[in-house]
Amino acid sequence: MSETGTLFAALRQSSDEAVVDMLERMVRDAPDHALNKMNALDLAGTAGIDEDRVIAALLNAVGLGMFEMTWNVMCPSCAGVLSANKSLKTLDRAHYHCAFCAAGYETTLDNLVEVTFTVSPRVRKIAAHNPDELSAAEYYRQIFWSSAIDLPDDLEKLLDEVTLEIVDLPAGERAILSLQVPQGTLIMFDPVTHAAQFLEVSGEETSERQNLSVIFNRVQVPVDTVTLRPGPLRLALDNRTDGRALPAVWVANPALDDLLKRRKSVLTATRLLTNQTFRDIYRTDTLAIGQRLKILSLTFLFSDLKDSTELYERVGDLTAFDLVNEHFRLLQEIIASERGAIVKTIGDAVMATFETPDRAIAAAIRMREAMSDLGAERQHQSLRLKMGIHEGSCLAVTLNGQQDYFGQTVNIASRVQGLAASRSIVVTESVVAHARALLETSGLKPTPRRVALSGIADKVSVYEIS
């Protein structure tokens, strides 16, 4: 058996067979660009396979060295990749700037960082492994743009509609372009160095040649705007870097707007951090010590077994230990199936995260039912969970050697759980607001009340789902 065959056989031991079959077919038959910056959610949708099964298989494949994982900081406006990182540890900037859009963005894991997968050269060599050999159109497709943009197969034809000129400029080389610039806005942009120059072309047409020089040297400078008149332009381009440059003159027209609006859902960093398979594999090697990355919205669920100490007293250590372990197993199974992940356990308590509040509530309802079923099965009706849920912003950090979360949202979620009575789920107002449809479908009517929480100045509105 070949090395590739051996690797796929190993992958089948840990991953869904349908997903492995799909990946094996892709490695064998797919065009090169389909194996670069693979979008897990798009793959799942196209194949009709559960997203989490696809994500899990790709993560396991990374562990086997079959694929490589990249954390791309992407521009929300143009979907260009502003920074490609093999690990979250190298996301060390509070803000990123997109020269193409002349816009800056605060670094958040919700909508600025996507996770993609690329086949390893040991499995199959593809053109993107040598980006300097890609054509200009394929460089934009495979290197510059993120997996969030839905690019057509005939990308080169589409690019012709939005570019006046594009040049492949080797290291140390100069080029002079003679252009007829039309009225409107033009963008001179290089996707390799991310250098840009805006051209505002207006006024009466001129027959006199206008001149503009642009130097590429990897020094990030503020993007400015040059005013020109319609007519001839002599554009001098000087590549002073040690690699190629691909400067192009883009026309800001409806075709460009349509191109940049073609979007797909992506696997965000926040979604991946709340994936149980990811946490199991990368529990201690996600963020650097002292690193803090912002998440705008994450949902936290805290659970605790009520009267677990009395349970040990009543049924004995061995029986209680077995029940508590089975409780942890069931909770992890339910949390993972609702696209959540257990961050840690503290005694008999669980701290879990979910990308959205509705997933957390769905998990809590199922967890409560599972504990009732387990108690009835083992003839211990005292297995009752107290649960609290809150949603909000937080920081992803490393605490006690593992990836964790910090902030007031975490504190409130923990304190809300302390308000829960036996078998009740207490949630905050923001959670209810995001999950009304689920609650109505489930026939649940949360009971509101105002409470004081330790460390919180004002009273908080909470809702009990009993």
Amino acid identity of residue 227, one-letter, is T
Using pLDDT thresholds of 50, 70 and 90, give the confidence band for residue 269: very high
> How far apart are the C-alpha atoms of 394 and 79, rounded to whole Å?
25
pLDDT of residue 347: 84
Whether 76 contacts 98, CB under 8 Å:
no
Max CA distance (Å), the chain: 96
Using pLDDT thresholds of 50, 70 and 90, give the confidence band for residue 413: very high
Q: Is residue 303 predicted with pLDDT exceeding 80?
A: yes
Whether 147 contacts 266, CB under 8 Å:
yes
DSSP 8-state class, residue 239: E
pLDDT of residue 66: 97
Using pLDDT thresholds of 50, 70 and 90, give the confidence band for residue 82: very high
Q: C-alpha dihedral over 340, 345, 349, 354, to 10 degrees?
A: -20
Q: How far is CA 250 from the centre of its chain?
A: 29
Whether 216 contacts 189, CB under 8 Å:
no
> How far apart are the C-alpha atoms of 187 and 425, rounded to whole Å?
54
Least trusted range by pLDDT, from 7-16, 45-54, 283-292: 283-292
Residue 318 or 391, more confident: 391
Whether 115 contacts 121, CB under 8 Å:
no
Percent of the chain with pLDDT over 90: 71
Who contacts 29 (Cβ-Cβ below 8 Å, separation ≥6)? none
Q: Are strands 103-106 and 95-98 parallel, antiparallel or unpaired?
A: antiparallel
Residue 222 in tokens? 């503020």
pLDDT of residue 309: 62
Question: What is the number of other CB atoms lying within 10 angstroms of the CB of residue 5?
Answer: 10
Nearest by Cα to 181 from 163, 201, 165, 161: 201
pLDDT of residue 382: 62
> How far apart are the C-alpha atoms of 252 and 183, rounded to whole Å?
10
Who contacts 36 (Cβ-Cβ below 8 Å, separation ≥6)? 118, 119, 126, 127, 128, 142
Using pLDDT thresholds of 50, 70 and 90, give the confidence band for residue 235: very high
Nearest by Cα to 218 from 243, 200, 235, 197: 243
Q: How far is CA 384 from the centre of its chain?
A: 35
Token match 């990946």: residue?
A: 23
Nearest by Cα to 183 from 259, 248, 252: 252
pLDDT of residue 190: 94
Average pLDDT over the chain, rounded to whole?
91
Q: Is residue 315 predicted with pLDDT exceeding 70?
A: no
Q: How far is CA 71 from the centre of its chain?
A: 8
> How far apart are the C-alpha atoms of 424 and 427, rounded to whole Å?
10
> How far apart are the C-alpha atoms of 455 and 135, rounded to whole Å?
58
Q: Is residue 313 predicted with pLDDT exceeding 70?
A: no
- Give me the mean pLDDT over the 228-241 stretch: 95
pLDDT of residue 310: 65
- Give me the mean pLDDT over the 399-417 stretch: 92
Nearest by Cα to 427 from 378, 379, 365: 365
Q: Is residue 376 predicted with pLDDT exceeding 80?
A: no
Percent of the chain with pLDDT over 70: 96
pLDDT of residue 308: 61
Residue 427, strand partner residues: 389, 463
Question: What is the number of other CB atoms lying within 10 angstroms of the CB of residue 302?
Answer: 24
- Give me the mean pLDDT over the 399-416 stretch: 92
> How far apart are the C-alpha atoms of 466 and 452, rounded to whole Å?
20
Using pLDDT thresholds of 50, 70 and 90, give the confidence band for residue 277: very high
User: pLDDT by residue (tens digit) across 102-157?
Assistant: 999 999 999 899 999 999 999 999 999 999 999 999 999 999 999 999 988 888 88
> How far apart are the C-alpha atoms of 40 and 264, rounded to whole Å?
11
DSSP 91-123: ---SEEEETTTTEEEE-BTTTSEEEEEEE-TTT
Side by side, the strands of the sheet bearing 113-119 are 81-85, 67-74, 113-119
Q: Is residue 1 predicted with pLDDT exceeding 70?
A: no
Q: Are strands 210-216 and 225-228 parallel, antiparallel or unpaired?
A: unpaired
